[in-house]
Amino acid sequence: MGEPVRTIGDHGIIGNLETAALVAGDGTIDYLCWPALDSPTIFADLLDAGKGGAFAIAPELGEARTLQLYIPDTNVLVTRWMGEEGSAEIVDLMPHPDTGEQPGRSTRRLIRRVTATRGRIALTARCAPRFDYGRDTPGVVALEDGVRFAGRDLVLRLFASVRLEPEPGAASARFTLAEGESCWFVLGDDTCVCPDDAAITDEIDATTQAWRAWLARTTYKGRWREQVLRSALALKLLTSARHGSIAAAATFSLPEATGAERNWDYRATWIRDASFTVYAFMRLGFVEEAQRFNHWVGQRVMAADRGNPLRIMYALDGSEAADERALEHLAGYAGSRPVRIGNAAHAQSQLDIFGELLDSVYLSNKYGTAISHHGWQHVRGLVDHVIGHWQEPDAGIWEMRSQPRHFLHSRVMCWVALDRAIRLAKKRSLPAPLVAWAETRDAIVDDIWTNFRHPRLGYFVQERGGTELDAALLMMPLVRFVSSTDPVWLKTLDAIGGQLRDDGLVYRYRNSDGLEGGEGAFTTCTFWYAECLARAGRVDEARMMLAQGMAYANPLGLFSEELDARGLPLGNFPQALTHLAFVSAAYFLDRRLDPAYRPNWQP
């Protein structure tokens, strides 16, 4: 199996709000889908070194230290090499859409500027794209100041301010820069034209200013501000400027356990993330992003009303998520196979999505724009669906591939759907059968308290009649189903801490889920646990848990989906849900630490 050439956490991310690239700490871009985040890859060496394609730039500096940082308040990434005899750096970016498009200067481009910052530095560059998930090696044709990569269905151009040498399936350059000198590389579609030095400088400056202008809209002034705003920048990179949707992660098939089969495609939008997304963006002052995401979700709901069932996830453009299939030709990250694209979970029944969806509608009405009459009719249709199906088993929040079960988290979120609809109807004086809705809401409460507790120890459990725990139960006080200081809830919190937590690591569950192989700790759950501690008044424990969770970010402040026993990143990267959970925990704990804090039961 062997160790991967580059680890999951050894990457920064850049993007243009249409797609995103991962840049490794050694200056190699080894993951990029083109032209959109859910398109086939053109670079995928992260999933199969040597076969997936990569764009590498490296100086000839012996024993150099490497480090990465973002230009402050931006998603413009700097990779640096620092050696005894000299130093060099790369500035990597994709133009921000707010910089505008000009003939030959589409924002659909990758820009890499290399500078010798000390000494005289010899460097090598090699761009070897492999289109269609590594299945299409393009032909290479020399152009003036560049090369043209022509595949079966895709054509790209690479321009550079140094001489490029065409070779089979690649282009390379070897060059030397004196101290203070720079050169650049630009990879774009077939309409791309060769820029000049001034244009490259202008575009770097314009993109830097565009990111800073966006981040300046934030209203967050609290503790951990730098990490919170880095999370906001990462979440923005996963947002589609065209559609308003947000990808669960930038990647596919990065394993939850190295060498195992738990390798999923997260380049889609989950309805489940709706309330988390709206809450995080609203709390940080990014109202436009929250409203655009809610509009995107609303379109899916309206489509469901026309006879199509509401799915748990969708492609970024709102179409059906792709069916799952394996790419047998790729070896997988660290030998983790199969390499999957698409996601079979899109056809599952997961009742919790209605709670998250209606919570996001409620939050948008509370902090944003009032719901329309037409929108309220759709909400009533969703509530009717919940009333008719809340007692059914489902696949649950963790998308288990075993037989459907009666999961407590799904029950709680069905309660949330009814509770938020009732609150919204009362707040806006909207017509609704409130008595019938309240009767079903209260029936769910009775069912949960009667059937979802440990028969001997009394705390809440994962499924009806069971004894196992589930970290999804941490959502119970966060959605206000139970008081954060209720004795039964505090027993549940302690049980989760005792059975699912290992220091700052929190595992989703310990029992079988129908899949082979283990998995890592789930980073999102660390921050849910921290927020639950804070809401229970255990502030010192919450601060420590938050600090431990933040320590599991990579040096750039990016969170992966999961962590191994050593706290090293696993799974798809960066993970939107984790950044959303971190923002929520940091926001609440910052409020909780305010001397003027007063508990507020209202969501």
> Which of 215, 241, 256 finishes a domain?
215
Q: Does residue 569 share a domain with residue 482?
A: yes
pLDDT tens string 434-476 = 999 999 999 999 999 999 999 999 999 999 999 999 999 999 9
Say what the pLDDT of residue 333 is.
Answer: 95
Confidence category of residue 172, pLDDT binned at 50, 70, 90: very high
Confidence category of residue 308, pLDDT binned at 50, 70, 90: confident
Residue 248 is assigned to a structural domain of this protein: yes
Helices marked H in 452-568: 475-478, 487-499, 523-535, 539-551
Q: Mean pLDDT, to the nearest integer, of 141-162?
A: 97
Say what the pLDDT of residue 601 is.
Answer: 45
pLDDT tens string 397-413 = 998 888 899 999 999 99
Q: Does residue 266 share a domain with residue 146?
A: no
Please work out, in degrees rounded to the nearest 5, the angle formed at the alpha carbon of residue 400 by the alpha carbons of 275 and 46.
80
Confidence category of residue 36, pLDDT binned at 50, 70, 90: very high
Q: Does residue 203 share a domain with residue 233?
A: no
* Residue 315 near residue 374, CB atoms below 8 Å: no
Residue 602 is assigned to a structural domain of this protein: no
Say what the pLDDT of residue 519 is.
Answer: 87
How far is 509 from 521, CA to CA, in rounded Å? 9
Q: Mean pLDDT, to the nearest integer, of 529-550?
A: 98
Residue 600 is assigned to a structural domain of this protein: no
For residue 515, pLDDT beyond 80: no
Query: In the chain, what percentage of residues exceed pLDDT 90?
Result: 87
Q: Which residue has the higher pLDDT, 600 or 198?
A: 198
* Residue 599 near residue 483, CB atoms below 8 Å: no
The single-letter code of the amino acid at 61 is L
Q: Mean pLDDT, to the nearest integer, of 215-244?
A: 97
Query: In the chain, what percentage of residues exceed pLDDT 70?
Result: 97
Q: Does residue 136 share a domain with residue 232?
A: no
What is the dihedral sign for C-alpha 451, 453, 454, 455?
negative
For residue 101, pLDDT beyond 70: no
How far is 402 from 345, CA to CA, in rounded Å? 12
Tokens standing for 425? 């109807």
Q: Does residue 203 share a domain with residue 119?
A: yes
Pick the most confident of 98-112, 249-263, 474-488: 474-488
Q: Does residue 328 share a domain with residue 180?
A: no
Q: Mean pLDDT, to the nearest integer, of 50-57?
A: 97
Residue 477 is assigned to a structural domain of this protein: yes
Q: Any idea which of 364-373, 463-472, 521-530 has the lowest mean pLDDT?
A: 364-373
Nearest residue to 37 (alpha-carbon basis) of 398, 556, 561, 572: 572
Confidence category of residue 73, pLDDT binned at 50, 70, 90: very high
Q: Is 568 exposed, middle or buried (0-12, 13-18, 19+ CB in 10 A)?
A: middle
Say what the pLDDT of residue 514 is.
Answer: 74
Say what the pLDDT of residue 103 is.
Answer: 57
Q: Does residue 499 share a domain with residue 401?
A: yes
* Residue 165 near residue 153, CB atoms below 8 Å: no
Residue 459 is assigned to a structural domain of this protein: yes
Distant-in-sequence, close-in-space partners of 159: CB < 8 Å, separation ≥ 6: 143, 145, 146, 185, 186, 188, 192, 193, 194, 195
Question: How far does CA 130 lie from the centroid of its chain?
Answer: 25
Q: Check residue 249 and report its DSSP letter.
A: B
Residue 362 is assigned to a structural domain of this protein: yes
Confidence category of residue 602, pLDDT binned at 50, 70, 90: very low
Q: Which residue has the higher pLDDT, 106 or 569?
A: 569
> Which of 151, 186, 215 finishes a domain?
215
Q: Does residue 191 share a domain with residue 271?
A: no
* Residue 259 near residue 336, CB atoms below 8 Å: yes
Domain count, the chain: 2
Nearest residue to 477 (alpha-carbon basis) of 530, 405, 421, 407: 530
Cis bond upstream, residue 455 (ω within 30)? no
Q: Mean pLDDT, to the nearest integer, of 374-390?
A: 94
Residue 23 is assigned to a structural domain of this protein: yes
How far is 436 from 546, CA to CA, in rounded Å? 41
Q: Does residue 283 share a domain with residue 210?
A: no
* Residue 263 near residue 340, CB atoms below 8 Å: yes
Q: Mean pLDDT, to the nearest integer, of 386-392?
A: 97
What average pLDDT is seen over the chain?
A: 94
- Residue 467 CA neighbour count, 13 Å, CB half: 3
Q: Does residue 256 share a domain with residue 184?
A: no
Quote the domain boundaries for residue 494. 225-592
How far is 64 from 159, CA to CA, in rounded Å? 28
CATH code (residue 243):
1.50.10.10
Residue 1 is assigned to a structural domain of this protein: no
Q: Mean pLDDT, to the nearest integer, of 300-328?
A: 90
CATH code (residue 72):
2.70.98.10
Q: Mean pLDDT, to the nearest integer, of 77-87?
A: 97
Q: Does residue 201 share a domain with residue 251?
A: no
> Which of 215, 242, 267 finishes a domain?
215
Q: Check residue 18 and report its DSSP letter.
A: S
Tokens standing for 163? 């001489």
Cα separation values, 421 from 282, 371, 448, Å: 20, 12, 20
Q: Does residue 109 share a domain with residue 21?
A: yes
For residue 1, pLDDT beyond 60: no
Confidence category of residue 200, pLDDT binned at 50, 70, 90: very high
How far is 432 from 435, CA to CA, in rounded Å? 9
